[in-house]
Structure 1
Amino acid sequence: MTLHFHFFLVKRIGMAKFVSTYEKPLPHVGLPDWYAKQWELRRSADIRRAEACQLRNSGKSVRSEGNVTTKWDTYINNNRLEGRVTELSRWKDTLEDLLQKILIEIRLLDDEKADTEKEIENIDHPLRIVSECISIRDCRRGTELTYDETDVELKKELCVVTNVKEMFTNRAQAAWEKLNHLENMKFKLSLDIEDKNETIRIDKGNLQLDDTSANISYKPRTSAEKTDCITYEIWLDRCQRSKMLADKELSDSYTFREDMRVMKECARNDIKAQQDATNYSLRKRIYQTQKARNEMEWQKLKVQKEMEMLGKEIIELERALMNKTGVVKCVETRLENRAYRPGSEFCKDEVELGLKNEVLQLKQTKEDLIQIIEHAKAKYNSLEFLLTRISKNLDDKQHSLNTDVMCLDTRSTLKTGDKSDLSNETNRNIVLTHLEKEIPLES
């Protein structure tokens, strides 16, 4: 600030000379005012200093409390983050363990489903064999086309195999649906595990952050402003529900697999038992047919012998009839010659009576021979007709026997599963039914 000084003369009374001085052209303050001003400044300074001291103490207290609060808040939140990471890791490990179990269960159930589908394919073979046996036995002829025990057992086996195939098909479909449920659960668990891994990564990253980190900054929008955030109770309920659903799916799948295994074993046992019953009925029927065939052969042999003997007897009867012709002629000629006796010699003597009785006896004998020849020829014709029936029945029984043996040979693949063992099975059946003399064993 520039001060302007004015020169002026001061005249002092009683002085001999004049003295020049320099003063500001402002009003001067009196001494009382100066003291008052000084007191006011001191008082203001004391007040302001007291206020500044109080403010310093308050700032130091707030700063200390803020530091302590910030430190404890950071410590507590770090512990919370560590606890949250631990809880997430524990749930993640639990879900990963469940996921591994589900993957193992999916593989086991898929193998069980593949085994069931293979069983469905394999069951076509016994089904075809049973149908073929029924068709073969339908080729029996005449009286051999009967509803015997073998027919009943074959139809039972057809029903059993068909029901087992249908049951296997339904189980395979149910296994496919169960696999879809497990795949869906695997997908949900995988997403949940990925979310938890991402959350663990974020919380671990937050644990590594502090006020000296380089990647921190003010954020215009905090998580507290998000409206789609759920509560901890809902989160925990979701985790527990996921675990409960996964455990339930695993338990259901295990029970389903065990039921499938038991069902397949029972089905195999039922089919095997029915096959054994059918094979037994076939062998029994073969034995019965072979026995009846032997009986028919014996009857045929007896009928043939009887026909041969009857034929010889007919020839003898006809020869006897022919022999009686000459005798009749002789007797009648004698009677005719004696009719020419002269005069009184023409009498009924014993010779006359004897010749007449002989003629009557010869006629009666001839009629009896003719009648018995007719009866013999009729009986011979009936025996010939019976022999034809027996031969046809015997042929039908032989055909039925061959049919049942063919069925038994066809069914042998159900037990051996290999065509190379067919001859051995046939030989065994022939021995069991005592057909060695009827069917030669293959070399």
Structure 2
Amino acid sequence: MSSVATFEKPIRPTVPPDWLANIRELGQSSQNQQATSFELRHGGRQLRNETGIRTEWDTYHNDLRLEDRVAELSRWKTVLQQCLGAITDEIVQLKDEKAETERKLESMATALNVVAECLSLRDCRQGTDRVQDDAYSELKKELTVLDSLKNLLTNKCHAAWEQLNRLEEVEFKLQVAVENKERAISLDEENLKLDKNCSGISYKPDPLRIPPNCTPYETWLAQSQDDKLKADNEITASNKLREVLYVARERCRNDLKAQHDSTNYMLRRRIYEIRRAKSELEWQRHKTIDEMKKLMKEIEDLKEALEVKTNSLKLAETRLENRMFRSGAELVEDEGQISLKDEVLHLRQTRQDLIDKISAAKGTYNSLENVVVRLDADLANKNHALLTDEHCLDIRERLHAKEQETSATQTDRNIELSRMEHAIPKS
């Protein structure tokens, strides 16, 4: 029996071979884990180096791309801003041309009123002087020319209004495009200022999502080019339209001036013809009145002669009647009786001739008097027609005054269009 009490676990003890095997297994496991750890450390270092380098280069390349994008946006912004400035200037110039054309169109209302007033005045002429002469034809032609030129300028103003709408539409699109590019440039410049150490960076919910209105780069480039092309086309069209407006106004001015001169010439010619006819009629009236005076004196002389012949007839008839009372054989048809009978017959015929002549003279006098009345009426018509045409010429002076008012402005306009304002010395 042992003198020392021992306590053993109720577990089977490990035998030496197992112990040795366990030691070898632990060693092998340690070596395997060390190898695995080495591989992991080597792979981690390589991954860190590769990802660090790639991240640096990706950041560098993205910064370069953002800088290029900012430069491209700035270049397109500059191009579109130049187009916007040109569009704005073109809108101002086209508005000026349109306003000038509208003023010309408004000034034509004065010409229309003048022509209508002249036609109304000349329509008040009386008698045979209410004639459709060359002046009337020129006034009607001037009215037709004014109407056609008014329609022409109205159409050109409408075309300018449509062109202004297109220019303003392009201007609005360019303003939006420039603002969008400024906003994009500002955003990309802010992105260029960011780095990995900034406090404003954070995870985002879905940074890889595609915005709904996102367009490909080719579409954006085509849109920018289309905006510039559309602006250039509208500027070119506006330049041509401004030239057309200027040509239309000049054509209107030249045509109206030519027609005004032609109408004024016809009115002056008509006034000359009326004055000449008036002078001729006044001369005829003077001669007719003189002839009436002479005829009246002749009628009075004929009446006196008739009175003398009447008394002579009474004398001859009285002698014949007295000789009827001879008595006896003395009641004879002697030469005295025959001579008295011949005298009575001759006096009767003479008296009848005088009466007929007096009647004819009175009829002629009445005819001359009617001619004088007609001459007076025609002279009154001539005076009225002369005053009317002279009044028409006075009225048409307003057209000449209107042209003088616009001549200085037109000269300044020509200087501005030819860009000679700096070459002409100031007075």
TM-score by length of 1: 0.83
| 2:43 corresponds to 1:48 | no
- The aligned residue for residue 397 of structure 2 is 412
Q: Per-residue deviation at 1:339? A: 4.2
- The aligned residue for residue 127 of structure 1 is 112
Distance 2:377 2:36 in 1: 141
Letter paired with 1:78: D
| 2:106 corresponds to 1:116 | no
**1:368 equivalent among 343, 353, 378:** 353
Q: Per-residue deviation at 1:184? A: 2.1
Distance 1:416 1:116 in 2: 19
Distance 1:225 1:349, change over 3 A: closer
| 2:127 corresponds to 1:142 | yes
Distance 1:351 1:8 in 2: 245
- The aligned residue for residue 388 of structure 1 is 373
Q: Per-residue deviation at 1:309? A: 1.0
**1:263 equivalent among 248, 259, 267:** 248
Q: Per-residue deviation at 1:331? A: 2.5
- The aligned residue for residue 434 of structure 1 is none
| 2:136 corresponds to 1:151 | yes
Distance 1:391 1:249 in 2: 70
**1:82 equivalent among 52, 62, 67:** 67
> Unaligned stretches of 5+ in structure 1?
1-6, 11-21, 420-443
Q: Per-residue deviation at 1:169? A: 3.4
> CA offsets, 1:181-229, max 9 Å, x none?
2222222211111111111111111112222222212212214343432
Q: Per-residue deviation at 1:396? A: 0.6
Q: Per-residue deviation at 1:51? A: 2.7
Distance 2:402 2:233 in 1: 41
| 2:88 corresponds to 1:106 | no
Distance 2:211 2:242 in 1: 46
| 2:54 corresponds to 1:69 | yes
Distance 1:381 1:27 in 2: 183
Distance 1:90 1:223, change over 3 A: farther
Q: Secondary structure at the match of 1:123?
A: helix
- The aligned residue for residue 331 of structure 1 is 316
Q: Per-residue deviation at 1:171? A: 3.2
Distance 1:136 1:347 in 2: 85
> Unaligned stretches of 5+ in structure 2?
405-427
Distance 2:211 2:311 in 1: 143
Larger Rg computed on CA atoms:
1
Distance 2:13 2:376 in 1: 172
- The aligned residue for residue 200 of structure 2 is 215
- The aligned residue for residue 251 of structure 1 is 236
Higher deviation after alignment, 96-105 or 167-176: 167-176
Higher deviation after alignment, 347-356 or 337-346: 337-346
Distance 1:223 1:159, change over 3 A: farther
User: Runs in 1 of length 4+ with deviation above 6 angstroms?
Assistant: 22-31
Distance 1:248 1:352, change over 3 A: same
Distance 2:189 2:4 in 1: 90
Letter paired with 2:109: D
Q: Please give the root-mean-square deviation of Cα atoms over the aligned residues, in Å.
A: 2.7
The percentage of aligned residue pairs carrying the same residue is 45
Q: Per-residue deviation at 1:35? A: 5.2
Q: Per-residue deviation at 1:82? A: 1.3
Distance 2:187 2:3 in 1: 87
Q: Per-residue deviation at 1:9? A: 5.0
Distance 1:237 1:291 in 2: 79
Letter paired with 2:49: S
- The aligned residue for residue 15 of structure 1 is none
- The aligned residue for residue 342 of structure 2 is 357
- The aligned residue for residue 183 of structure 1 is 168
- The aligned residue for residue 412 of structure 2 is none
Distance 1:418 1:317, change over 3 A: farther
Distance 2:313 2:102 in 1: 94
- The aligned residue for residue 281 of structure 2 is 296
Q: Per-residue deviation at 1:363? A: 1.4
Higher deviation after alignment, 116-125 or 397-406: 116-125
- The aligned residue for residue 385 of structure 2 is 400
Distance 1:8 1:416 in 2: 156
Aligned residue pairs: how many? 402
**2:294 equivalent among 294, 299, 309:** 309
Distance 1:194 1:332, change over 3 A: same
